[in-house]
Chains A and B, each alone.
Chain A
Amino acid sequence: MTEKQTTLQPISRGSPEKYTERMALEEGAIKSSSRRSFLSGAATAAAAATVASTTGAIAAPLDVQPSSKSMGRTTVPNGYGLPSKFEADVTRNRSDIFVNKQNFSDWSMTPIQHQQGIITPNGLIFERHHAGIPDIDPDAHELVIHGMVKQAMKYSMSDLMRYPSVSKFHFMECSGNGLTDWLSVKSDTVQQTHGLLSCTQWTGVPVSWLLDEVGLDSGAKWLLFEGADGSAHARSIPLDKAMDDALLVFASGGEMLRPENGYPLRAFMPGWEGNTSVKWLRRIKVSDQPWHLRSETARYTDPMPDGKWRQFSMEMECKSVITNPSGGMQMQGPGMYEIQGFAWSGLGKINSVDITLDGGKTWRTADLEDPVMDRCLTRFRYRWNWDGSPAKIASRAVDSTGYVQPTVAELADKRAIVGFVQHHNGIFPWAVSESGEVTNAIA
């Protein structure tokens, strides 16, 4: 990671055991770098470099590397490829801040500071379970659609996979993303502040096709989506959403879903809070009204200053965050850095992203990297010549509806934000100190 990520490196890198192992692995590099310093003085005049490096360094003569002088590992006859052992600390992590006393109803976060491009690898898509991860045999799994329908139907997985399918790129975000860091600094890294966020290509069958097939009774307005896990997690979904773009998903990122992400079948509600994309989906029931379950009254609702609760706030509003540099990283001295991050909106495409380097006094426009897709992570980039003085950096996104990502203060004008509060889409700043340390600057 140190080699790959040349401008920035996280200050803390996993467990002491891993650190020791890493040091041993990097020993060769450290030795050659000391020799480089020793040689550089004498070699400078002789080097006669026609193109100077920004850093002024001059490379030492090369040794043939050990990998060129040995055979590599054999091809595994039947194996599933894993990341390099040197990437072992790029993992989903539980929150350091809001630690559940059990890990069945729990969550883990995507290391978005390490994500390149807009697609989250399947093994890093964030998790939220309400009663642990079931291991469901797809040959035994069934989906039922019933209630206010002309004919209730049951579908096996092979039934569902006989339909033509569609594949769509969309982000998925938990409504609780950012809930620990509204008003004061709690989390160190962007994984902790914003890692209940992932993005991939989802493949499945439009819900509307199957609703057409079963035939809706007149008066049908709401659908219950229910999981086959031990929590039987369920949400009421308006018919309009189901007919518009809801999917029955069996694959993500090119392969069947991972167990922790709903294998073999989940709902997917583009742009909506993650828990509406019910995992391990077993049942859709059609009705004329919402159910008002615990999961949509006592949970996943937003407190208002007058003591009331906003309900069915399912669209994830426009948001962005800088992932590089971000909390826990260390700048390597003044010079050019590419500020990178993600912007997304549950209501459309990203139109623009602005960057501030002075804590919000002035803003300048970042580049959006193609593709910029509807309700999908959009990568922004901005080249920053850091002069070495303290800075407070943040991003602000505008979506295709014209909605401007607000500050926390602007959200606090309308909502109660103290306590366990969801739907934090406020502008999120990082502080860069004179020594180059990057830290959470939410307050």
Chain B
Amino acid sequence: MQLHKIALAGGLAVAVSIGGAFASSSKPAVSFGTPISEADVAAWDIDIQTPTGKGLPEGSGTAAQGKELYDVQCIACHGEDAGGGAQYGSMVGGVGSFVTEKRKLTPGSMYPYAPILFDYIKRAMPMTAPQSLSNDEVYALTAYIYALNDLIAEDTVLDAASLAAIEMPNKDGFIVDDRPDAAATRCLENCE
């Protein structure tokens, strides 16, 4: 914190010379960052731009390979055949449920873009050991879940191209924030 105050002192001298109106919210003319190459960010660079699939890595997997992994890595929380387990609900079905009061949110019913599932498994699953799966394993698990949702054939080999090409049922299911939506008035007397 002392360093911090020293850094400020230089700016203060300038402020006095322009009449005391020190713009403490203005950007200081300093740079304390260390340049790094994109190549050296690679281990952290896990995000997928899901509408295009940009960022999907090399590798591939099938539903059969995915089931084998799922039954070891995922089944304890998500249940058999991704039908819901000890911790979380089903990851299968739900298409058409959003117009009812029992909306069923699954990767199949909810995701507008198929690479969302790859991104999420890669960054956060399994919960006990996130970022521990290989890219092939993530493709395989993605294939397994999407096959259970009847979005790909059992024998589809998912890779960057085939994953990005899956047409999702909810691809047109979103609107951009259009609030304010509620039209309230400030009634004071004889309201309602």
List residues of chain A with CB under 8 Å of any chain B CB: 101-102, 104-105, 130-131, 144-146, 151-156, 158-166, 206, 208-210, 212-214, 224, 226, 230-232, 234, 282-283, 285, 287, 289, 291-294, 297-298, 301, 303-304, 306-315, 317, 352, 354, 360-364, 396, 398, 403-407, 410-411, 413-416, 418-419
Contact = CB atoms under 8 A, between A and B. Distances in A.
A362 B25 contact: no
A294 B116 CA distance: 6
Contacts of B188: 354, 362-364
A291 B47 CA distance: 8
Nearest to B113: A292
A315 B178 CA distance: 11
Given A131-B130, A285-B47, A354 B33 contact: no
Interface string B163-185: 00000000001111111111111
Given A152-B36, A161-B1, 5 more contacts: A131-B124, A289-B49, A294-B111, A298-B111, A303-B103
Interface in B99-115: 99, 101-103, 105, 107, 110-113
Interface of B: 1, 3-4, 7-8, 11, 24-25, 27-28, 30-38, 41, 44-51, 86-87, 98-99, 101-103, 105, 107, 110-113, 116-117, 119-120, 123-124, 127, 130-131, 173-192
Contacts of A145: 33
Contacts of B86: 101
A159 B33 contact: yes
A152 B41 contact: yes
B123 A232 contact: yes
Contact of B27 (A206, A234, A416): A206
A144 B120 contact: no
B52 to A, nearest CB: 8
B127 A230 contact: yes
A354 B27 CA distance: 41
Contacts of B179: 310, 313, 315, 317
B37 A152 contact: yes
A404 B35 contact: no
24 contacts: A104-B127, A152-B37, A154-B35, A156-B34, A162-B32, A163-B32, A166-B25, A210-B33, A212-B27, A226-B47, A230-B130, A232-B46, A282-B44, A283-B41, A292-B50, A292-B112, A293-B116, A293-B119, A298-B111, A309-B173, A313-B179, A317-B179, A361-B192, A418-B101
A158 B182 contact: no
A354 B191 CA distance: 13
B103 A232 contact: no
B120 A294 contact: yes
A152 B38 CA distance: 7
Contacts of A165: 4
A173 B187 CA distance: 27
B25 A303 contact: no
Tell me the interface secondary structure of chain B in the complex: loop
A311 B177 contact: yes
Contact of B185 (A144, A224, A285, A404): A404
Q: Which 10 A-B pairs have the closest CB atoms?
A: A153-B33, A406-B182, A406-B184, A307-B98, A232-B123, A307-B99, A404-B184, A414-B181, A159-B32, A294-B120
Contact of B101 (A301, A317, A419): A419
A154 B34 contact: yes
B177 to A, nearest CB: 4
A153 B30 CA distance: 13
B39 to A, nearest CB: 10
B28 A354 contact: no
Nearest to B121: A294
B185 A297 contact: no
A80 to B, nearest CB: 18
- Which of A155, A282, A307 has the most chain B CB atoms inside 10 A of its CB? A307
Contact of B28 (A163, A312, A405): A163
Contacts of A360: 191-192
Contacts of B44: 144, 226, 282-283
Contacts of B175: 304, 308-311
Contacts of B32: 155, 159-160, 162-163
Given A102-B87, A291-B50, A232 B130 contact: yes
Contacts of B48: 291
Given A155-B32, A283-B44, A310-B177, A232 B124 contact: yes
Given A163-B30, A285-B47, A298 B178 contact: no
Contacts of A403: 180, 184
Nearest to B96: A307
Contacts of B30: 162-163
